[in-house]
Chains A and B, each alone.
Chain A
């Protein structure tokens, strides 16, 4: 029975070969471009998230915005106003950092490393460059950040030697005109100046880092800040980056410090990605809907052309539902062939796009288009295409099914 309808459907379609080919091609192009677009969108999104997850700490623990100390008057009176209060500036960073760090290390499913960040001016030759100095414990820091992988020259472990040594971003080195072996002077805002020997250059791929960041041994940073054993941030790298929110929550509850997950830190970026996905699916849906019009057109033409066949089949004893199924099948057959061709086209397009290589010096350097082959894109595009083909086939099918055979037979005689 269904084979008979399929025979009839294929015969009808074959009878309009060229028009059918155009409609099928319409669906195939729709599916193909949707898949290629989704591959590119998903690829760039994954690339971006990969960068976020590898380049940035999964959780950053830092001090809350500093507030003046609570005043006794507030305890006594219901309302009290103050003016001229300032936060204490005797100490900066996390209070009792050693205790906090070891507390975190005891339960966090990942690695922990305390750092001290401060602003300084780097001087070499005649040029001054404002830099962000990060004081690190090299052994621990490499477990929470990809610094070791980003080294262009030298090794992170070289920082540990007794003399003052520094690793700088390639952007900083370029601006200063310094290279490995040069000795640069760092002056902090406390007025402390120290000379550091360049032992390494890194390139993280993020210009915002490469152009301002320098790494020194933690002790040296504390000297520059005039604060021994101070730590301003604790970086946490998790085994599963997607637990960052939960871990950050727990840190905030247990140690009364500000803990930010990478998702929270990049919230606006992630929201932008979400909006981008909504736009993408809307466009994909629209493309496939348009492809559906081609199918509607041809199935509609067939129902007109084959009105006599419909009449004769109904008079032979075919039901209205058979006729509906017949033309629905025709739409779905075109949708199926279009989807399969579209898969091939989409895969080919994805491969071509993925193989294009070019150089861009932007925030994140890209050497090729990131593409992702994800079967859900293929399934989704086919589902969209089939749905629109089904609708496109059903509308004329309903009309054909309601056709009264006597009207046609009378008209023919």
Chain B
């Protein structure tokens, strides 16, 4: 089991304390139940489980996209329950990068412009710095020559890499990925996985990825397995990292 690599007094990056999510309605549906976990800096965590087990729902709770109906989620020790939507949005903007199964790039904007959008929203860099940084990120992901292309001119794997670049735009310590390779072929899957792996190893960021690909999950440092919305195991991956 990977212990939180944080020194005392330095709160973990992300914590869930008995977090649960129940969809209201005439027949309430439990998505996540009593999830307690701690994820520190520089971890590469897989969330696995059968479909419908609440993997994505847990990720949305951790990423502040959704509110827990019970328990709480803390980011760097800070309780998020009392935050309003705007505060959560600001926290997401600067702290969390998302990658989804579908690239979700804005179709009318070039790859470069898509990567720049979160930076422009944050508004701490000058136009030139933003452009330079976006070009650097794209180049580091092997997309140096594709910055001017629109998403529909890119392959599936390239699009997903642009989406990763966009998640990295504001230099967040945490990347949350929801089936990032779910719609990719084997080769692209390998590329995207290597990129995520590199983000953890070289840049010291934390990546939490939902996946149903047990082979991939096995290559990550830590695996959290869910069944019916409950965490049934949380341990270091058995297979050695390649």
Contact = CB atoms under 8 A, between A and B. Distances in A.
Interface stretch (B39-47, B100-108, B185-193): B100-108
Contacts of B96: 317
Contact of B89 (A4, A15, A318, A409): A318
Contacts of A406: 60, 65-66
Contact of A15 (B56, B108, B117, B122): B108
B118 interface: yes
Interface in B66-81: 66
Interface in B84-143: 85-86, 89-94, 96, 98, 100-102, 104, 106, 108-109, 117-118, 120-123
Contacts of A308: 104
Contacts of B86: 319-321
Contacts of B121: 1, 4, 316-318, 322
B98 A316 contact: yes
Nearest to B172: A317
Contacts of B15: none
A316 B66 contact: no
Most buried by B among A316, A321, A405, A409: A316
B89 A317 contact: yes
Interface residues of B, number: 32
Contact of A309 (B98, B102, B106, B118): B106
Interface string B209-238: 000000000000000000000000000000
Contact of B117 (A4, A14, A319): A4
B102 A315 contact: no
B58 to A, nearest CB: 12
A11 B120 contact: no
A413 B118 contact: no
B178 interface: yes
B56 A315 contact: no
Interface string A293-332: 0000000000000001101111111111110000000000
A4 B106 CA distance: 13
A412 interface: yes
B83 to A, nearest CB: 12
A366 B85 CA distance: 66
A314 B121 CA distance: 11
Contacts of A412: 100-102, 104
A317 B65 CA distance: 9
A410 interface: yes
Nearest to A401: B85
B109 A316 contact: no
Contact of A11 (B66, B100, B108, B166): B108
Contacts, number: 76
B197 interface: no
A308 B107 CA distance: 11
B117 A316 contact: yes
B156 to A, nearest CB: 15
A288 B63 CA distance: 45
Contact of B100 (A1, A3, A309, A413): A413
B120 A319 contact: no
A4 B178 CA distance: 27
B187 to A, nearest CB: 22
B90 A317 contact: yes
Given A406-B65, A413-B100, A317 B93 contact: yes
A309 B63 CA distance: 18
A315 B92 contact: yes
A308 B108 CA distance: 13
6 contacts: A316-B93, A316-B166, A317-B89, A317-B92, A318-B89, A318-B93
Interface of B: 56, 60, 63, 65-66, 85-86, 89-94, 96, 98, 100-102, 104, 106, 108-109, 117-118, 120-123, 166, 178-179, 182
Interface of A: 1, 3-4, 8, 11-12, 14-15, 308-309, 311-322, 405-406, 409-410, 412-413
Given A11-B108, A320-B89, A322-B121, 9 more contacts: A1-B121, A311-B104, A316-B166, A317-B91, A317-B96, A320-B85, A412-B101, A413-B100, A413-B178
Which 5 A/B pairs are nearest by Cβ-Cβ distance? A317-B93, A317-B92, A4-B120, A312-B104, A11-B108
